[in-house]
Chains A and B, each alone.
Chain A
Amino acid sequence: MEERDLIAKLKTGDQEAFKLLVTQYQNIVLNTCLGFVPNLHDAEDLVQEVFIEVFRSINKFKAGSKLSTWVYRIAVNKSLELIRSRKRAKRNPFFKSLIGLEDYQDTIGSETFYHPGFELENQERAKVLYNAIDSLAENQRTAFTLHKMEGLSYQEISGIMEVSLSSVESLIFRARRNLKKKLENFYKNDR
């Protein structure tokens, strides 16, 4: 089915079209979410959230842009939302319990590191890497993750992040440089 037809059917609420969309994009969305939230259980929950959001807001999708770009954008935003809410909750546990975020966190899973894409012997090293990635600025993190983990081109990333091509280049360059510094510091202090 052509993408244009698929979108048209999705807009009418066609279940078969939705099923096709889920089948086509589920692995892409899962791996993107895992790139941000390195826990399989959390990532799987996020995947469901992403597709529900796609189903609900398909009418907001603008013709002319690519469906994959839009799906990636939703996956990135949902992942970043979860990361932000967790950081907020860590900063202020009292406020978290008062407004109910605690319950939200409990339902969406734990923060235990488990990324099945890494070899078992690399899980510890991957955890160190993710800790370093976690301290990057959000836009650097997004550009780096989409490029290095999802293998997307600068062009595709610029479409998803809605920034210029040169900005993507700069973000990835700075992300890599900062990561190297952070990792070197980590191994310096680890000795």
Chain B
Amino acid sequence: MNKNGLNQKKEAEKTLGILDNLKRVESDPLLFEKIQGRLDTGTSDKQATIVPMTLLKYAAAILLFVMNAYLVLPQFSDNSTAAQDDYIQELANDYALTYDTDAGYEFN
């Protein structure tokens, strides 16, 4: 094994070795009071705040979807077909195109 390989092994061992000197961490002396406070106010969990926010976001997403559907769907409805046909016919006339699909393609 080359010198670099040995160094890598040594470094890896050294890094794993720092766990042997890991010190215990002391907890916050006011921990119980903090937990008590959260239990008393009923805001004991982050979930308590996340749920209404999530619901609000879902509601907003659904509202957007419904509004989009309301605006987009009428364009595909039968009522607008006639207007669409007129519009396409006008365009076809402007550009001297044949709108009739049965007419076939003719070269002049």
Contacts and interface: CB of A to CB of B under 8 A. Distances in A.
B48 to A, nearest CB: 11
Given A52-B39, A107-B46, A117 B32 contact: no
Interface string B47-60: 00110011001100
Contact of A99 (B15, B21, B54): B54
Interface string B21-46: 11111111001101110110000111
Interface string B1-18: 000100111011111101
A180 B11 CA distance: 10
Nearest to A145: B19
Contacts of B53: 100, 103
Nearest to B26: A27
Interface residues of A, number: 49
Interface in A42-93: 44, 47-49, 51-52, 55-56
B46 A49 contact: yes
A187 B22 contact: no
Determine the main DSSP class of B at the interface with A.
Answer: helix
Nearest to A48: B35
B50 A100 contact: yes
B61 interface: yes
Given A44-B28, A52-B39, A52-B44, A125 B23 contact: no
Contact of A49 (B32, B36, B45): B45
28 contacts: A19-B32, A22-B32, A27-B24, A29-B27, A30-B27, A34-B25, A40-B25, A49-B46, A51-B31, A52-B39, A98-B61, A100-B57, A103-B50, A107-B46, A108-B46, A116-B25, A118-B18, A125-B18, A129-B15, A129-B16, A129-B19, A149-B19, A179-B12, A183-B11, A183-B12, A183-B16, A186-B12, A187-B11
Interface of B: 4, 7-9, 11-16, 18-19, 21-28, 31-32, 34-36, 38-39, 44-46, 49-50, 53-54, 57-58, 61
